[in-house]
Structure formats: C-alpha cells, structure tokens
Amino acid sequence: MDRRAFVKGCVFGVGLICEARRVEAAPPAEYPRVTLADAAGAPLRPSALAPHEAYCFFYPYVSTPCLLLDMETPVPPALPVPGDTRPGGVGPRASIVGYTAICSDQLSHPNAGFSPIHYLAPGQRDALVRDRDRLIVCCAHSSAFDPAAGGRVAQSPARLPLASIVLEWNAASDALFATAVRGPDSFERFFTAFDRERTLVAGPARVVPLSAYSRKVATC
Ligand code: FES
C-alpha cells in the first residue's frame, strides 16, 4: 500500500471510530409517552396491523414522520453500531417496531404528496436493492435499513442507522404507546433544512398506512 492510500485509510478509520463514539456519547432525549391510535382516534390494537405493511405516524414532534411495522416474527434487541442499543419488537409476537422515517443520509422523508421511503415486504424487490427484502428503502439515493436489526444500514450511502422509536405494549389493555427515541436522530438538521414545527406530540399519535398518508409511495 502506498503512503497516500495508507493515510487515507487511517483517516477513514478514525472517522468511523468518531462516528461510533458520537453515538455512544449522545444522551437519550426525553420525549412524551403517547398512545398510538387508529385513523378514527381509538387505541390502536396490534391485531389491526397487517404484517409487513408500512404505517405512518408522527412522533415525537408533530412534524417528524415515523414508520410502524409488524415484522410478523419476534424482533430481538439489536446493536446496529457499537454503543447504540436498540429495543426489540413489542406486541403479542414481539414483532412490532418503529423507526423515524427521516432518512439518515440526506433527510428524505414522506409527505402527503410523495414518499421516497418505502418498505420492501417479503418477496418484493427493488431494482436498486438486489436480492433483498424486509428492508426500509430510501429511493432518493437507494439507502436501505434493516428494521429487524435496529435500523442498521443494509445499503449505503447512509452511514448511520435510522433512529428507533421506543414502543410499549400493555398486554392487559392491548394498547400501544410510543415512549422515546433511541439512536442518532436527525431532528435538528430536519427542522433547519425544512423549517418545520418543533411542537411535541401531545395527544394520541394516529397511525395510518403509509400508502394512505402519501398519495404516491416510491419504488426503486
Ligand atoms: S436521502 Fe435517503 S438515501 Fe439519500
């Protein structure tokens, strides 16, 4: 290896270490605990979720979109990068997970007209994500994230996992709650870039299919 390539490799390696350290150092933010509700405002039951369908809700801010997924099988806690522990799934099958729908690459996200982000259900394929499914994919630059592994980056250019929405399931009442955010979120960059409202969600967060929230959901 010539000297220039060696130095370049060292700088890249130090960058990755710093990235991991930043994740370790980030204190968990305090956010409200809110009930997840269906489109009519009634408490959302896990049985109302179709497995492998992407649902959209807003948390912890009224302007920050998230995805809710029932992965159908238990999702264990995960460590997508060193020092960044993510919760496992909740619900009767421990299979329901939540993530921010703001791409960690360049902040692409769903809006009412269009979603560049979608979920590849089992058997679905994207031309830009060869031979893989069960992934959250951002078609803006074809980053992919694994919702069964703490939002880990499954395909670059994204370098950081998606932030996890911490969920809770009350078995007695069968209700679902969003309680916190784990991992490096992009909220400050998002507010600055898009001039969005910083108001925290106060009441129930309504959950609707992503295809009902965004008129067009991209495939790539
Ligand atoms: S903004 Fe999502 S891949 Fe670039």
- In the structure, what pLDDT confidence band is assigned to residue 29 with cuts at 50, 70 and 90? low
Q: Which helix (H) or strand (E) holds 175?
A: strand 175-182
Per-domain residue ranges of the chain: 29-217
Question: 29-217, what's its fold?
Answer: Rieske Iron-sulfur Protein (2.102.10)
Q: 158 C-alpha to center of ligand 1: Å?
A: 7
Q: 48 C-alpha to center of ligand 1: Å?
A: 30
CB of 104 within 6 A of ligand 1: the answer is: no
Q: Which residue has the higher pLDDT, 49 or 197?
A: 49
CB of 158 within 6 A of ligand 1: the answer is: yes
CB of 138 within 6 A of ligand 1: the answer is: yes
Pairing of strands 205-206, 34-37: parallel
Nearest CA to ligand 1 atom 3: 141
Q: Which helix (H) or strand (E) holds 200?
A: none
Nearest CA to ligand 1 atom 1: 106
CB of 128 within 6 A of ligand 1: the answer is: no
Find how far residue 216's CA is from the centre of its chain: 19
Amino acid present at 193: A
Q: What is the pLDDT of residue 11?
A: 36
Residue 206 has pLDDT above 70, yes or no: yes
Task: Give the span between the Cα atoms of 92 and 73, in whole angstroms.
Answer: 10
Q: What is the pLDDT of residue 208?
A: 98
Task: Give the span between the Cα atoms of 97 and 78, in whole angstroms.
Answer: 12
Task: Give the span between the Cα atoms of 139 and 10, in whole angstroms.
Answer: 31
Task: Give the span between the Cα atoms of 203 and 108, in whole angstroms.
Answer: 26
Q: What is the pLDDT of residue 76?
A: 98
Q: What is the pLDDT of residue 30?
A: 81
CB of 217 within 6 A of ligand 1: the answer is: no
Q: Which helix (H) or strand (E) holds 124?
A: none
For residue range 34-63, what is the model confidence (pLDDT) as tens digits? 999 999 999 999 999 999 999 999 999 999
DSSP 45-72: PGGGSPTT--EEEE-SBTT-EEEEEE-S
CA dihedral 50, 209, 94, 77 (to 10 degrees): 140
Q: Which residue has the higher pLDDT, 87 or 25?
A: 87
What radius of gyration, in Å, describes the C-alpha atoms of the chain?
Answer: 17
CB of 103 within 6 A of ligand 1: the answer is: yes
pLDDT, average across residues 57-81: 97
The closest-lying atom of ligand 1 relative to the alpha carbon of residue 103 is 2
